[in-house]
C-alpha cells in the first residue's frame, strides 16, 4: 500500500522562497514566522532582563529596590522560555544544519553558550558558596557575549544561504 506523508516540506533549505510564503505550521532549517519571532522575543526577554539587573545591582550599585526585584523575577521567567526555545531549535533546525554542514562553527558556539548559561544558572542555585562568585561572573560574561553571538549566527547562516543559492 502506498505510504502517505503528513509532513509538508514547504520550504526547501536551498531555495530562496520569500519568508511570507513559508508554512505557518513548521519549517526546515528556516524557522516558520511564529517560531522565528518566538526566538527573537524570548532571547531578548532573557538577555535584557539579566542586563537590567546587572546594571542596577553591579554598575549603579543601587540599594535593593522594586526595579531589581522585578528584573530578576522577569529574568527567571525568561530563562524558562529561553530553555524551551533551545529545545524547540534542537528538534529540527539544529539537526538539519548539522547534516547539511552549514553554519556549524557558530551553531556549536551558540549551543555551548546556551548550555553554559543553563549550567551556571543551575549552579547559582545549587553550587557551593565558594564557587558562587566564579559561577556568577561566568554567567554574566557569557550572558553579555550572547548579545553578539545569536545575531552573528543568523547573519552568517543567511549569508551562507545566499552563497548557496547564487552558486546554483
Measured CA to CA, the distance from residue 104 to residue 120 in angstroms comes to: 24
- Which of 74, 81, 119, 124 is in the footprint of ligand HEM by CB under 6 A? 124
The sign one gets for the Cα dihedral 50, 55, 59, 64 is: negative
| DSSP code, position 20 | G
Interaction of residue 135 with ligand HEM, rule CB under 6 A: no
Residues 77-106 that bind ligand HEM (CB under 6 A): 79, 82-83, 86, 89, 93-94, 97-98, 102-104
Contact between 132 and 124 (Cβ < 8 Å)? yes
The phi and psi torsions of 88 (rounded to 5 degrees) equal -65, -30
Question: In the complex, what is the shortest distance from the CB of residue 4 to ligand HEM, in angstroms, rounded to a whole number?
Answer: 28
Q: Between 103 and 122, how does the x/- string for binding to ligand HEM read (CB under 6 A)? A: xx--xx-xx--x--xx--x-
Q: Residue 59 has which C-alpha cell?
A: 554598575
Contact between 13 and 45 (Cβ < 8 Å)? no
Q: Between 2 and 41, how does the x/- string for binding to ligand HEM read (CB under 6 A)? A: ---------------------------xxx----x--x--
Phi-psi region of 61 (alpha: psi -120 to 50; beta: other; left: phi over 0): left
The residues of the shown chain that bind ligand HEM, judged by CB under 6 A, are 29-31, 36, 39, 46-47, 50-51, 53-54, 72, 75-76, 79, 82-83, 86, 89, 93-94, 97-98, 102-104, 107-108, 110-111, 114, 117-118, 121, 124, 136, 139-140, 143-144, 146, 153-154, 157-158, 160-161
Amino acid at each position: 500500500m502506498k505510504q502517505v506523508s503528513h509532513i509538508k516540506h514547504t520550504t526547501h533549505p536551498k531555495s530562496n522562497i520569500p519568508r511570507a510564503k513559508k508554512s505557518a505550521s513548521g519549517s526546515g532549517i528556516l524557522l516558520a514566522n511564529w517560531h522565528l519571532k518566538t526566538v527573537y522575543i524570548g532571547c531578548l526577554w532573557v538577555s535584557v532582563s539579566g542586563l537590567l539587573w546587572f546594571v542596577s545591582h553591579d554598575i549603579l550599585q543601587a540599594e535593593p529596590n522594586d526595579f531589581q526585584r522585578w528584573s530578576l523575577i522577569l529574568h527567571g521567567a525568561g530563562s524558562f522560555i529561553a530553555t524551551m526555545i533551545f529545545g524547540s531549535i534542537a528538534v529540527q533546525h539544529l539537526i538539519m544544519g548539522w547534516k547539511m554542514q552549514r553554519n556549524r562553527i557558530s551553531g556549536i558556539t551558540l549551543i555551548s553558550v546556551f548550555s553554559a548559561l543553563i549550567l551556571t544558572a543551575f549552579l547559582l542555585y545549587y553550587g557551593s558558596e565558594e564557587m558562587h562568585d566564579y559561577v556568577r561572573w561566568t554567567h554574566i560574561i557569557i550572558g553579555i557575549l550572547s548579545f553578539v553571538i545569536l545575531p552573528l549566527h543568523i547573519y552568517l547562516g543567511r549569508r551562507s544561504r545566499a552563497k548557496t543559492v547564487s552558486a546554483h
